[in-house]
Structure 1
Amino acid sequence: MVDTIPAALHAAAERFGSRPAYVEGDRVLSFARLCDEVGRVARGYAARGVAPGDRVCVWAPNSVDWVIAALAVSTAGGTLVPINTRYTAPEARDIIERVDAALVVVAGGFLGRDFAAELAADGSTRRILDVAELAALDGPPIDVAVSPDDVADILFTSGTTGRPKGVLSAHRQTVGVARVWAELGGVTDRDRYLVVNPFFHSFGYKVGILTGLLTGATLYPVATFDVAATLTLIERERITVLPGAPTIYQSLLTAPERAGHDLSSLRLAVTGAAVVPVVLIERMRDELRIDTVVTAFGMTEAVVATMCRDGDSAETVATTCGRAVPGMEATIAGPDENGAGELLLRGEYVMLGYLDDPAATAEAIDADGWLHTGDVGTLDDAGNLRITDRLKDMYICGGFNVYPAEVEQVLARLDGVADVAVVGASDERMGEVGRAFVVPAGDIAAEDVIAFARERLANFKVPRYVDFVDALPRNPSGKLLKNELRSS
């Protein structure tokens, strides 16, 4: 069983040979050719001074070139550091400097930006390589031994609550978690996998790129999500696998042109977030007609921790994140009378630690190896996880704890509500009260929202204020930025 990224790449080339590994527009790359291209670029990296253990940043949108650039880092014995494409140059430079990058691979022209020029203007002195130069790279043969325990990648947290932290994972962890995800999802070499999730995120990189290598599935990378283009691609290429954040499916469901496209090829959708609206899962099954809709729970520090299984009941899929995946454990710390408490995780796929931050690592992972997630949840008798909220999102109204996710689940069922988020707002008498931010999908008033909540929730849970917005602030991986709502 392969347990390093270079081994997974070479095994894929041997097993799947001329079968298509990637399709991007008119560009089709077989598994064998992918292996050759990666080897050539790895030699080119080494010729430019990248040594085993060096860190190489990739700051570019999803593309075949991103895949080649990233896999070549591992093949050269380096550590991959993906950078969020939405970052500004100062944010990117902060990461580049913190990891002491030996090389930075960038893309020019993405969304009208020139990353290389931006870094230069910001004062970065690191060596820059544009992805367009990859085609000309090569060098003398290299012989690099990569161990399963070597650090494969450093992925930075989203930074929604503070400065992003670098999460270190070993090769055995990155490969192992991709294998588990693929096995539970039943992904095979017959699948055509549309990768909307950004490669800089574990959802696109680990359970995207690595899953493709391990299973032989053909990947279709998408640089930016466009609803119309996605609908066309699904129909034309007969896409079978479409994982994504909840917003991806919400966009497809509300697209006016959806009825004009044949989406019957879709067989597997995997989604996850701190909380996924139950009504969204129901609509994905009933309206998009996706055979298998699976929810899962993960985070940068653990990637995939729990996941539903094929054959789980519709209720289990719609209301839980499934059970701990093989190699992982889940427990609830300090459960209240309803069984709710902080979710703790332990197992093979929990990070090695945070980059250059032993204090934060010790705070996150206790002496018994449990990762403290900061998420509030419950576990049923079968071990299925139900996330109820983030600890930091809870607010206290009149002495009662309010978990916004519960309120959001209720309001998501109101006709005319396309998306909703609830935060606590200061109140002189009650301490805090609910403030709902609603993305309308029709003619709806604040009074309708409040009345709907009053019929279904205890009074202290009913939002006091309702704000209508065009969209909720989210990061590229779909995580809701509630700190921006609180400060608005």
Structure 2
Amino acid sequence: MEEMNFLNGPCQVVPATEEITTDRYGYVKLRIPKTGTAVETVEPISIPGLLTTTAEKNPDNIAYIYKNLEGKPVEVTYKEYLQKIRDCAKAFIHLGLEPRHGVAIIGFNSPEWIISNMATIFAGGISTGIYATNSPEACLHCAQLSKANVIVVEDEKQYEKIEQIREKLPLLKAVVQYSGTPKNSDVLTWDKLMEIGAKQDDTLLDNALKRIAINQCCTLIFTSGTVGNPKAVMLSHDNLVFDSRSIFERINIGPKEVLVSYLPFSHVAAQIIDMYVATTAAATLYFADKDALKGSLLKTLQEARPTKFIAVPRVWEKIQEKMLHIGSQSGFLKKSIASWAKAHALEYHLKKIQGETSSSWGYSIASSLILSKVKQALGLDRCDLFVSAAAPISMDVKKYFLSLDIPLMDAFGMSESSGAHCLGIPSAFNLDTVGGPIPGVKTKIVANAEEDQGEICMYGRHVFMGYLDEPEKTKETLDSEGWLHSGDLGRQDDKGFLYITGRLKELLITAGGENVPPVPIEHMVQSQLPNISYAMLIGDKKKFLSLLIALKTEVDPSTGAPTAVLTPAVQNWLKSLGCPATTIDEVLNAGPDQKLLDAIQEGINKVNEKATSNAQKIQKFKLLPSDFSVATGELGPTMKLKRRIVIEKYKHLVDSMYS
């Protein structure tokens, strides 16, 4: 379709007959039902339209806060933010960014990241986030598929990856480095980029904005596929704006809100919350430093004091570990008071979930005098919404935080649904579900007649356009009616609450044909054995189930990789068993002490007692020589377990259990 015929952007909708496309130049029909809630029929708007409107209505609101080289906070208003985006967009166009071609961005969250992202979209390009942990080969795939004309890198370390593949990128016209001084004279500094943009006339940008349509691709999110290269999820302006508006309506977020940015921007969860929900609400984004997931997040939380906070399960688990360790160092009186307060808070919240709304003097005192200080120490004293997203979280972790007066709301979605599809809120949640659907979306469960669970399918304006240049894989995920097949198993109750019961791809099918969902069993093991960092279930096409077990170890703050040093809690546990050790090497070198093996087996036996069949009982286990981490490859960027990688890495241990 000729773009020159449609010059009423950036908030135009170009006529289209299909809801699905895999063509970067394609347009899609908006999935707007004839009837529905207000959010479904609200006037569509583009990302430039959304951001410009927010900046014009709230010019002096603080868009984001970052720390300069001296470590001092710097505030940037929405008016200033919009101007920076426009200058950056003009620079990209001047450097040769073509319509529907990519600007690839690789690095930790920063103002430069979001400005580059928004500027690409303003200029009519396709923003392409690349995970900072990607190899040069993975970067090459992303840059080639997006047809990147510009690549923005954080520092010299990230540029070295691009340098290795630059000759294979004939469409690449410029590389920009936003941190440190580039060693290569061909690499532009961020200041130089912005200087170039500020000198350009607005005409080129205004003309680019006129060609933009709401129903065209503006962003690629790369999935972390288990086989082959990751697929590029094509998201339109309407996908992202609709999802952000629906979340905005669901959680009642406002212009005085403060959010902390630390989850990687190359992941859809961070983009939809930190960029688009924040912009919709005219809220403030507070940038964490790059070591956030290596241990500095708590310091940022104490400084920013966010009003809403989203974390992946592993972050909540790390906070729990820290709190339990601090609690173990307390004296008898402090422990007794803390236990009393936590018991009252847990009882109150469990009753509230059941519909009992009356408070008690015990909870009131515990909340105001004791647990409020815990929240203050965590930097969460202003927070009224706590969310866990991106992976399943165990019931025990949820209950622990309930006892701290911190109810964790689950969120469910995927890259292909622009982020959120379901989200719990304090007025409507329980411990078993991932909440109810956000406004304006539809859910159906595809199940056999005799089953009460099936594959979760989604429909709405948040459902993606297709996988770029991959029509066959798109057909595997989007059916002919436009329903997105999630690959997750679940059920929905009469109140609309969605329950996740497993994952089709993670489902283990034993040699005897038994279907076993691994996550619930793994969570039960971790509940029985709290000093275990990960328990990964093995058993696909095997005669019986087994476990790979990682003990909790300290993390190297400079690399994020696990060290051999066991955490203090694990050391104390081993000492109590009569087999003291300070490192995982000491545990394994002479062969694990029988007393430790017996303690682990005892925990497994308790889990096996709850098994629904003999096929779901764990028969063997092996201790691993290292904990899991993003840096060492067992976890994805949002700390989701990469099962295939773990099995390949420890194939010899797996084989030894089945030989």
TM-score (norm 2): 0.69
Say whether the 8 Å CA contact 1:321–1:385 is kept in structure 2.
yes
Mapping for residues 197-208 of structure 1, pairs under 5 Å: 197-208=263-274
Match of 2:627 in 1: 471
1:393 offset after TM fit, Å? 1.7
* Structure 1 letter corresponding to 2:141: D
Match of 2:164 in 1: 121
Say whether the 8 Å CA contact 1:274–1:390 is kept in structure 2.
no
Secondary structure of the corresponding residue to residue 242 of structure 1: strand
Mapping for residues 30-429 of structure 1, pairs under 5 Å: 30-109=77-156, 113=157, 115-122=158-165, 123-125=167-169, 126-127=172-173, 128-131=175-178, 132-133=189-190, 134-138=193-197, 139-141=200-202, 142-143=205-206, 144-145=209-210, 146-222=212-288, 223-226=290-293, 228-255=295-322, 256=325, 261=378, 263-287=380-404, 289-290=405-406, 293-302=408-417, 303-313=419-429, 316=430, 318-335=431-448, 337-397=450-510, 398-425=512-539
Is the alpha carbon distance of 1:341 and 1:422 closer, same or farther for their aligned partners in structure 2, counting shifts above 3 Å? farther
Is the alpha carbon distance of 1:60 and 1:227 closer, same or farther for their aligned partners in structure 2, counting shifts above 3 Å? closer
Determine the C-alpha separation between the residues in 2 that align with 1:321 and 1:170. 25
Say whether the 8 Å CA contact 2:258–2:286 is kept in structure 1.
yes
Any stretches of 5+ residues in structure 2 without a counterpart?
A: 1-42, 68-72, 179-188, 328-373, 553-568, 574-595, 629-633, 651-659
Match of 2:545 in 1: 433
Determine the C-alpha separation between the residues in 2 that align with 1:486 and 1:336. 35
Secondary structure of the corresponding residue to residue 456 of structure 1: coil
Q: Which moved more, 1:132-141 or 1:472-481?
A: 132-141
1:240 offset after TM fit, Å? 1.8
Is the alpha carbon distance of 1:448 and 1:20 closer, same or farther for their aligned partners in structure 2, counting shifts above 3 Å? same
Determine the C-alpha separation between the residues in 2 that align with 1:341 and 1:261. 39
Is the alpha carbon distance of 1:279 and 1:238 closer, same or farther for their aligned partners in structure 2, counting shifts above 3 Å? same
1:257 offset after TM fit, Å? 6.2
The percent of aligned pairs where both chains have the same amino acid is: 23
Is the alpha carbon distance of 1:406 and 1:353 closer, same or farther for their aligned partners in structure 2, counting shifts above 3 Å? same
Determine the C-alpha separation between the residues in 2 that align with 1:219 and 1:418. 34
Paired residues, number: 477
Q: Which moved more, 1:16-25 or 1:467-476?
A: 467-476
1:280 offset after TM fit, Å? 1.7
Any stretches of 5+ residues in structure 1 without a counterpart?
A: none
Say whether the 8 Å CA contact 1:425–1:486 is kept in structure 2.
no
Q: Deviations over 1:327-370 (max 9, x none)?
A: 32222212474512221222211110010011111111111222
Is the alpha carbon distance of 1:98 and 1:298 closer, same or farther for their aligned partners in structure 2, counting shifts above 3 Å? same
Determine the C-alpha separation between the residues in 2 that align with 1:422 and 1:295. 22
Match of 1:482 in 2: 643
Larger Rg: 2
1:417 offset after TM fit, Å? 4.1
1:210 offset after TM fit, Å? 0.9
More helix by percentage: 2
Is the alpha carbon distance of 1:90 and 1:80 closer, same or farther for their aligned partners in structure 2, counting shifts above 3 Å? same
Determine the C-alpha separation between the residues in 1 that align with 2:469 and 2:117. 23
* Structure 1 letter corresponding to 2:81: L
Secondary structure of the corresponding residue to residue 225 of structure 2: coil
Match of 2:610 in 1: 456
TM-score (norm 1): 0.91
Q: CA RMSD for the aligned pairs?
A: 2.2
Determine the C-alpha separation between the residues in 2 that align with 1:182 and 1:439. 40
Say whether the 8 Å CA contact 1:52–1:77 is kept in structure 2.
yes
* Structure 1 letter corresponding to 2:414: M
Is the alpha carbon distance of 1:452 and 1:162 closer, same or farther for their aligned partners in structure 2, counting shifts above 3 Å? farther
